[in-house]
């Protein structure tokens, strides 16, 4: 695109967003063989699949991408699709000579979430809604939250219900092959150690700070300015091997490192009251296998993968799901 076309393209995006329209941006990320569009070619599609601006190929490719754009908008989730231009039967119906991989990014208005009216927490709720990318609407039929714990739980459940998710523990939803029994909690210290350095660890610190926890953040190259002022940041230059956890505290492993299994084991051995690890189903199986817990009954406070099933879509929503599980398991609601 020329500079003028680029400015016009982004101006169109701004106009659509300000008007509250749903649309999708399609970008060619790879071409194989003969294709009329080139890598980085872009187009804007309406929620009806119409090309509003830009170019991603001829008629057959544009129709296919428009259909995929509609599906992505309806799901509010990005997708990468393959436009097969080289197969008349199994492709798009016209043999044009090549294939294109297309990334489709839907842009939809913020979700509307119903919350109770509560002047004590309105400011916090408004700030959080900005982090989650949602709009809050007061529902007078809902019960007011009496504490910050209830505020976070209400937001988590509202987001999950809006997205038709179970709001149950992820380990149950994902059918992790281990039996988790609810552990007995001997204390409820308001202390947490967050291990790792990602946007998720920063979001976790923000949420635990709202609950008044004493927070330690441990990880490589931590920047104190990325965390609330109350957080004690400790840079670990030589890995995680010498970490000492505090008895009775909450431990969240979010480093996505090779040391994760050993960290989980150390936290359990040092009597943390809640040990959660953020990770995929596959990663969860790897850690449980390392701990020899696959197909076993687990009676201590282990939560792998950590969090509730709310279809979390960004770091702050992931943090909300994890913190909400801590609240539920500790009875702080």
For the stretch 38-47, pLDDT in tens is 999 999 999 9
Whether the bond into 118 is cis, omega within 30 of 0: no
- Report the CATH fold assignment for 170-306: Rossmann fold (3.40.50)
Neighbouring-strand partners of residue 28: 102
Helix (H) or strand (E) holding 6: helix 3-18
Start-end of CATH 3.40.50.720 domains in the chain = 170-306
Q: Tokens 């927490």 identify what position?
A: 121
pLDDT digits (tens, 9 = 90+) for 291-309: 998 888 888 889 999 999 9
The residues, ordered by sequence, that sit 6+ positions from 14 with a Cβ below 8 Å of its Cβ are none
List the chain residues with pLDDT less than 70.
Answer: 1, 86-97, 142, 183-188, 238-239, 332-333
Nearest CA among 251, 118, 134 for reference residue 194: 251
pLDDT digits (tens, 9 = 90+) for 78-125: 999 998 876 544 444 455 567 899 999 999 988 888 777 777 777 887
Q: Tokens 């002047």 identify what position?
A: 119
Report the alpha-carbon distance of residue 97 to residue 42 in Å, rounded: 20
Report the alpha-carbon distance of residue 142 to residue 50 in Å, rounded: 40
* Calculated CA dihedral for residues 162, 194, 303, 281, nearest 10 degrees: 70
Sign of dihedral through CA atoms 282, 288, 293, 297? negative
What pTM did the predictor assign? Answer: 0.79
């Amino acid at each position: 695109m020329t500079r003028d076309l680029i400015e016009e393209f982004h101006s169109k995006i701004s106009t659509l967003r300000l008007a509250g329209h749903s649309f999708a941006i399609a970008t060619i990320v790879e071409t194989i063989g003969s294709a009329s569009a080139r890598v980085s070619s872009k187009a804007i599609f309406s929620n009806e699949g119409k090309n509003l601006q830009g170019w991603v190929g001829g008629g057959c490719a544009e129709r296919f991408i428009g259909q995929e754009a509609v599906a992505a908008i309806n799901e509010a989730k990005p997708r990468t699709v393959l436009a097969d231009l080289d197969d008349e039967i199994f492709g798009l119906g016209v043999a044009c000579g090549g294939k294109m991989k297309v990334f489709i990014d839907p842009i939809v208005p913020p979700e509307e979430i119903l919350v109770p009216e509560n002047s004590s927490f309105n400011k916090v709720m408004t700030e959080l809604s900005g982090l989650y990318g949602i709009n809050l609407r007061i529902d007078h039929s809902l019960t007011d939250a009496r504490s910050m714990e209830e505020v976070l739980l209400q937001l988590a459940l509202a987001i999950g219900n809006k997205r038709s998710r179970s709001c149950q523990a992820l380990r149950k939803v994902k059918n992790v092959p281990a039996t988790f029994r609810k552990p007995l909690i001997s204390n409820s210290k308001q202390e947490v150690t967050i291990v790792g350095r990602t946007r998720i660890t920063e979001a976790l610190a923000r949420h635990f700070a709202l609950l008044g926890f004493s927070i330690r953040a441990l990880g490589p190259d931590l920047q104190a300015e990325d965390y609330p002022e109350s957080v004690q940041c400790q840079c670990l230059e030589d890995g995680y091997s010498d970490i000492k956890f505090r008895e009775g505290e909450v431990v969240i492993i979010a480093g996505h490192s090779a040391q994760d299994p050993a960290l989980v084991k150390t936290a359990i051995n040092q009597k943390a009251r809640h040990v959660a690890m953020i990770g995929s189903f596959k990663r969860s199986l790897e850690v449980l296998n390392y701990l020899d817990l696959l197909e076993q009954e687990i009676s201590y406070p282990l939560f792998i993968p950590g969090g509730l099933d709310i279809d979390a879509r960004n770091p702050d929503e992931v943090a909300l799901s994890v913190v909400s599980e801590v609240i539920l398991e500790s009875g702080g609601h």
